[in-house]
Amino acid sequence: MWEVIKEQKTTEDNVQYNAYGVRREDYSIPDICTDSEEISRFAELLNKFDVSPVNAIDIVEDYLAQL
């Protein structure tokens, strides 16, 4: 099952922000976006369609292209 992960990041200007990604078992894709609601919806879709880790990075790239 895919779940949301959160990391605190710092920009080159020392501005801190939360970066969200997804994880399934021992495979993770960090720093996809900064919107917690958006990444939650994305994780729900990954689970709804039972996306495998093998295909996940391609789906993330397609998803980001639509934003």
Query: Cα Rg for the chain, rounded, in angstroms?
Result: 12
Mind listing the pLDDT tens digit for each residue in 33-67?
A: 999 999 999 999 999 999 999 999 999 999 999 87
pLDDT in tens, 16-28: 999 999 999 999 9
What pTM, to 2 d.p., does this model score?
0.89
Domain of 32, in residue numbers: 3-66
Total domains in the fold of the chain: 1
Over residues 1-9, mean pLDDT: 98
* Residue 19 burial (CB count, 10 A): 15
- pLDDT above 70 covers what percent of the chain? 100
CB-based contacts of 6: which residues, under 8 Å, 6+ apart?
18, 19, 20, 36
**Which of 1, 2, 7 is CA-nearest to residue 43?**
2
